[in-house]
C-alpha cells in the first residue's frame, strides 16, 4: 500500500536510505553518521512537501519497504529548513556529537554542492520540480515497488500542475535509469560531485 509518510515512519525511512545508499554514506561519512541525522533531514522534506513524501507499506507486517520524495519546488525544502530553524538545530546536535561524524564530512558535502551547481546545466537548474530521493529495502526488490512509487510521485506532481520534473541518477545505476526511461525521462545533461558523475534527466507532463 502506498500512502503519505508520517513522522513516525522516519526511523524506518532512514534505515532504507542507509541500505540503499551505503556507498555514499561510506564515501562522505565513513559510515559514522547516525540514523538520527538522516531522520532530521527527511523531517524537513516531510514538512516542506507532506503529500509528495510517499512510502510503500507492507500491509501484512506494517513494515515500510520503500519511499519516494518528490517536491514541486526545491525552494520549499530550503524555506522549511529556515522556518523550522533546522540549520541551527543540526549545528547544535553536530557540535554535541549526536550525529556521529566530525568536520571532514562537512567539507565533503560543501564540495559536493559546489561541484553539483558548477557542472549542472542552466536548463536543468530552471526546472523546479524534482524527485529528490527514492529507495527500497533489498529484501523487497524485484516486486515493482520502485515502479509503483515513481508512478505515485509523478501523479502527485501532475495533479499539482507541474509541467516538468527532473532527477539525478548515477550512470552505473542501470536498473534505475531503465525505470525512469519507462516513465518518459530522458537525459538533458551531466553533473558531478566528489563521488563521481550524475546523469540529469527530465520528464514533461
Confidence of residue 117 (pLDDT cuts 50, 70, 90): low
| Cβ proximity of 33 and 99 under 8 Å | yes
Q: Rounded to whole angstroms, how far apart are CA atoms 129 and 117?
A: 16
- Domain holding 194, by residue range, is 2-204
| Cβ proximity of 16 and 55 under 8 Å | no
pLDDT, one tens digit per residue, over 63-101 is 999 999 999 998 999 999 999 999 999 999 999 999 998
Closest alpha carbon to 20 in 139, 179, 174: 139
| Cβ proximity of 128 and 72 under 8 Å | yes
pLDDT, one tens digit per residue, over 15-48 is 999 999 999 999 888 888 999 999 999 999 999 9
| Cβ proximity of 17 and 37 under 8 Å | no
| Cβ proximity of 106 and 177 under 8 Å | no
Per the structure, how many domains does the chain have?
1
Which CATH number goes with the domain that contains 162? 3.40.630.30
pLDDT, one tens digit per residue, over 158-194 is 999 999 999 999 999 999 999 999 999 999 988 888 8
pTM of the model: 0.91
| Cβ proximity of 52 and 156 under 8 Å | yes
End-to-end C-alpha distance for the chain, whole angstroms: 25
Does the pLDDT value for residue 121 go beyond 70? no
Amino acid at each position: 500500500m502506498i500512502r503519505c509518510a508520517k513522522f513516525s515512519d522516519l526511523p524506518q525511512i532512514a534505515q532504507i536510505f542507509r541500505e540503499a545508499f551505503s556507498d555514499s554514506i561510506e564515501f562522505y561519512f565513513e559510515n559514522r553518521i547516525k540514523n538520527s541525522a538522516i531522520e532530521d533531514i527527511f523531517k524537513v522534506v516531510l514538512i516542506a512537501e507532506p503529500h509528495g513524501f510517499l512510502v510503500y507499506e507492507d500491509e501484512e507486517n506494517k513494515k515500510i519497504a520503500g519511499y519516494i520524495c518528490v517536491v514541486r519546488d526545491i525552494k520549499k525544502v530550503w524555506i522549511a529548513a529556515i522556518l523550522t530553524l533546522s540549520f541551527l538545530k543540526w549545528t547544535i546536535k553536530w557540535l554535541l556529537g549526536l550525529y556521529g561524524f566530525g568536520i571532514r564530512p562537512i567539507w565533503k558535502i560543501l564540495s559536493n554542492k559546489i561541484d553539483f551547481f558548477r557542472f549542472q546545466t542552466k536548463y536543468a537548474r530552471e526546472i523546479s520540480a524534482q524527485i529528490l530521493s527514492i529507495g527500497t529495502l533489498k529484501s523487497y526488490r524485484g516486486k515493482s515497488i520502485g515502479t509503483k512509487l515513481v508512478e505515485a510521485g509523478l501523479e502527485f506532481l501532475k495533479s499539482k500542475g507541474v509541467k516538468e520534473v527532473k532527477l539525478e541518477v548515477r550512470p552505473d545505476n542501470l536498473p534505475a535509469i531503465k525505470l525512469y526511461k519507462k516513465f518518459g525521462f530522458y537525459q538533458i545533461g551531466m553533473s558531478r560531485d566528489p563521488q563521481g558523475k550524475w546523469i540529469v534527466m527530465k520528464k514533461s507532463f
